[in-house]
Amino acid sequence: MAVELDKAVVREKIARRAEQEIESGYYVNLGIGMPTMVANYIQEDKQVVLQSENGLLGIGRSPYEEEVDPDLINAGKETVTASVGAAYCSSAESFAMIRGEHLDLAILGGMEVSEQGDLANWMIPGKMIKGMGGAMDIVHGAKKIVIIMDHVNKHGEPKILKQCQLPLTGQGVVDRIITDRAVIDVTETGLELIEVSEGWTVEEIKQSTEAELHVHPNVWEASF
């Protein structure tokens, strides 16, 4: 089994792998939490526009201390920078972009994903939440949905399930899952393991996944 890594190291590892999903020319939405870290690792030679549903088209990297502007935030209320050529708009216009299917990719966090590609990521019953957020629109508006999350929860229980137990954000919306242990595609025939993180084995990934996993014949081991 892989050596237990510091949480910050794990999050960076996942964010760096998620960056590989972004292609030059893409319009991308990064969800609240860990997905926002992806902005810090986008390669300089990629021409990418990051969109936030609260009204900023052209999000840049996280600000250094001297750059912090409390009025410039993303949908998760984290301070951000604006890239050259950025545009500000109302939330209504931002959601028109989303609902009009103008986003090439959305990278979102997840609490649970099912083997059918169902996603639960907006609430846990009984816990206080700020609101529904924009994920329910994003999962239906973006052309590709990538979920990044820990492979198991804090109790060591699988988060990739046969059926989601938490309230759904969307049904059959997930295209790819990236965790600290693996990369898994949602296909018409079920979940397919395509990459295994360094230090883990295919068998260990299967054991920590409740849903059935098909293993790609050319699965990449120790690839990230």
- The set of catalytic residues is 53
CA distances from 149 to 56, 58, 177, 209 (A): 25, 25, 8, 13
Q: Mention every residue, 6+ apart, whose C-beta is less than 8 A from residue 207.
A: none
The CA distance from 22 to 187, in Å, is: 20
How far is residue 111 from each of residues 60, 67, 176, measured CA to CA in Å? 26, 32, 14
**Single-letter amino acid, residue 24:** S
Determine the Cα–Cα distance for residues 211 and 159; give it in Å rounded to an integer. Answer: 9
What letter represents residue 158's amino acid?
P
Q: How wide is the angle at C-alpha 54 spanned by C-alphas 49 and 58, nearest 5°?
A: 20
For residue 112, give both structure tokens: 């649970």
Q: How far apart are CA 115 and CA 27, in angstroms?
A: 27
